[in-house]
Amino acid sequence: MSLLNFRKNKVGLESKATPEIESLLKNYSIEVMPRTALKIDSFKDILPKNTRVYIAHIEGTPIDEMVATAARLSDEGFQSMPHFPARIIKDKATLKNWINRYKNEAGVDQALILAGGLSMPHGDFESSMKLLETGLFDAGGFKRLHVAGHPEGNKDIDPNGGNKNIDEALMWKQKFSSRTDAKVALATQFSFEPEPIINWASNLAKSGIDLPIHIGVAGPAKLQTLIKFAIACGVGPSLKVLQKRARDLTKLLLPYEPTDLLVYLANQKHKNPSLNIEQVHFFPLGGIKTNANWVTQNGGTSGVAANNSI
């Protein structure tokens, strides 16, 4: 599918969107940290109305900063989805306090539940499942809970390189989705190659896991930046896509853009509507403004910022 289907978007820029890309990017989500959010004067200038914004909770970030960021995003009309990394949460009392503060001070009713990147937990929780088992998110009236998905595996979970532990965890999360009132979805790590994503999604369906997939995509960034993050985050087989690009001197200094990946996924989704990829989630590794502007230019109506919409 060619991307040469240009048309004007609502801000007068030439949009490269095809109907397939526009559909795939509808209701996309994006991620910020409190310190990166401070650099944005107004999220309404760069993000579509009601965009879901994940707030990454990095070890050492005070909960006050997390809650303040969530409150600001909610006040600007966006859906705040803070991370709850199990291994940095000391105990059930701390978890309850966080949930109450997000709810009461920022109107938050959705969360990304994950283990977190630490090798050893700081307290009582070692996995996302342990957090969910507390029942505190249901008691707190959370309407949406996202959990992690790994299209290319995760050696922190399966050190031998297999998928046994990941598959068991996904089955647990599938069963959990049937006993909670919250909507549950899989938010995945970013990848650079489409085939592993398609194969992973298809295999999930065959094994009876029908949780909607919000596929992680790295936004535009310098190649060196992406390689650094890919290695740090344990991105596996698709890292070779970046390494191959790095060996091509004509491309080394050009910023990476996720165009080819999204075109492939959009076309596969168009051919196979039952493919359980519901939305795209962007990791703005090259900056949130750069990422948002890229979607504006490539996503048609799906990329129009709130302050530019009619």
**Domains in the chain: boundaries:** 7-221+255-308
Helix 63-75 to helix 92-106 angle, to the nearest 10 degrees?
30
Tens digit of each residue's pLDDT (9 = 90 or more) over 274-309: 999 999 999 999 999 999 999 999 999 999 999 987
Question: Using CB atoms within 10 A of its CB, is residue 92 exposed (0-12), middle (13-18) or buried (19+)?
Answer: middle
What pLDDT score does 7 carry? 41
Domain 7-221+255-308 classified CATH 3.20.20.220? yes
What pLDDT score does 3 carry? 33
What pLDDT score does 9 carry? 46
Distance between CA atoms of residues 104 and 127, nearest Å? 25
Q: What is the CA radius of gyration of the chain?
A: 19
Q: Name the most confidently modeled range: 1-5, 188-192, 247-251.
A: 188-192
Tens digit of each residue's pLDDT (9 = 90 or more) over 192-243: 889 989 999 999 999 999 999 999 999 998 877 777 766 666 565 556 666 6
Q: What integer is the mean pLDDT of 34-52?
A: 97
What pLDDT score does 179 carry? 96
Specify the range with the lowest mean pLDDT, choosing from 10-24, 41-55, 130-144, 174-188: 10-24
- Mean pLDDT, rounded, of the chain: 87
Structure confidence at residue 95 as a pLDDT band (50, 70, 90): very high
The model's pTM: 0.88
